[in-house]
Amino acid sequence: MSTLNRPKSPHTPTAIKKGEKEDSIWEKFSTLGRKRGTREVKKLQEEGKYAIDSPGSPNQFDIPPEDYALREHEQRAVIDPQSINDPEVLKLQRILIDWINDELAEQRIIVQQLEEDMYDGQVLHKLWEKLTGKKLDVPEVTQSEQGQHEKLNIVLKAVNHTLGFHQKIPKWSVASVHSKNIVAILHLLVALVRHFRAPVRLPENVFVTVVIAEKNAGVLNAQKFQEQITSEYDDLGMRCEKDAFDTLIDCAPDKLVVVKKSLITFVNKHLAKLNFEINDLNTDFRDGVYLCLLMGLLGGFFVPLHEFHLTPQDVDQMVSNVAFAFDLMQDVGLPKPKARPEDIVNMDLKSTLRVLYSLFSTFKEYA
């Protein structure tokens, strides 16, 4: 039987030639590994094992000598290999790999290992273009390490901008992604899944164990901590189940126009008390200002202007405004919206309609 030639991802692990030593998982994650003399490595290994295996350390595990080779006051994070092999972590990786492969199937790109296929920015570049429908002006293929860094830097800037990281610092960086840090890569991909509401169910409350090693006064100290990759999600990272608004948008655009007019009329009757008026449900609510003011009017209370950004300057402030409006909704007894603040800011019409219809249903008697 003949076998089909499946397309390969831009970067796949090469086979290990005879005589070559396969890199350990620690060599893959280490970003600052250096070669030391045999005697120095042995001494550092003993120091490291003593620090980690000494009383008070949670569990003993084996770390290669090169990961103990730290300069004075240098700090390094390494990952407990047992946590990487945790069933929930493996499940999360499998789901993310399948999602990427589904998104990029038309481009014949197949991801097999996240850390090996995502580190140079090539797959991430194609994934961002597919999810956003935009084009990024970067070289298709970069062979040199410097070229990979430069491309990854451009791609991550675009990704971070899309995800709204204008002031906040993300849990990934060019250095961590390029060094194949699986924790950073997982954080990045989970953020993309959440932002674009990918139709996948992420396992909740996934943690990995990270060891922070630091050398002070010639002695290596190590501490373990739990890094949370996923938490609990109301929507489980999935697109909302189909409801009346899906049907209106997909099948009855004429009725959708009527619904939008009714909601605009309802909103303007209240905003008129402050001499405001909206015309477009999709764009006029994206910065959260009208939503905050509307909640005060509907709830019969004054919303202090210092509690939200009256003239938001960036996406972060818009998201903060919408999140604050959602809190006000819960304060007046409404259920927490299924939409995320980011959905409103990103002008997702269905999410905006669902939020406003909830207000209309509750307060229409006061219109």
Q: Which residue has the higher pLDDT, 149 or 64?
A: 149
CB 44 within 8 A of CB 69: yes
How sure is the predictor about 233, in pLDDT bands with cuts at 50, 70 and 90? low
- According to DSSP, residue 169 is labeled P
Q: Which residue has the higher pLDDT, 214 or 152?
A: 152
pLDDT tens profile 82-127: 888 899 999 999 999 999 999 999 898 999 999 999 999 999 999 9
pLDDT tens profile 67-86: 556 677 676 777 788 888 89
Q: Which amino acid is at 7?
A: P
Q: Which of 329, 339, 328 is nearest to 359 (CA)?
A: 329
The mean pLDDT of 145-162, rounded to a whole number, is: 91
How many percent of the chain have pLDDT more than 90? Answer: 36
Is residue 367 scored above 70 in pLDDT? no
Please give the pLDDT value at position 11: 43
- Compute the mean pLDDT over every residue in the chain, rounded to the nearest whole number: 78
Please give the pLDDT value at position 46: 53
Q: Which domains does the chain have, with CATH numbers?
A: 78-230 (1.10.418.10), 244-366 (1.10.418.10)
Please give the pLDDT value at position 246: 59
> Rounded to 10 degrees, what is the CA torsion of 103, 104, 109, 114?
-40
pLDDT tens profile 18-31: 444 444 444 444 44
Is residue 190 scored above 70 in pLDDT? yes
Q: Among 74-88, 128-142, 160-174, 199-213, whose mean pLDDT is lowest? A: 74-88
pLDDT tens profile 256-265: 788 888 999 9
The region that residue 164 occupies, defined by phi over 0 for left and psi between -120 and 50 for alpha, beta otherwise, is: left
Q: What pTM value is reported for the model?
A: 0.53
The mean pLDDT of 348-360, rounded to a whole number, is: 87
Q: Which residue has the higher pLDDT, 66 or 126?
A: 126
Please give the pLDDT value at position 155: 94
How sure is the predictor about 298, in pLDDT bands with cuts at 50, 70 and 90? very high
The mean pLDDT of 333-344, rounded to a whole number, is: 85
How many percent of the chain have pLDDT more than 70? Answer: 72
Neighbours of 16 (CB within 10 A): 10
What is the residue-wise DSSP string for 181-225?
-HHHHHHHHHHHHHHTT-S--PPSS-EEEEEEEEEETTEEEEEEE
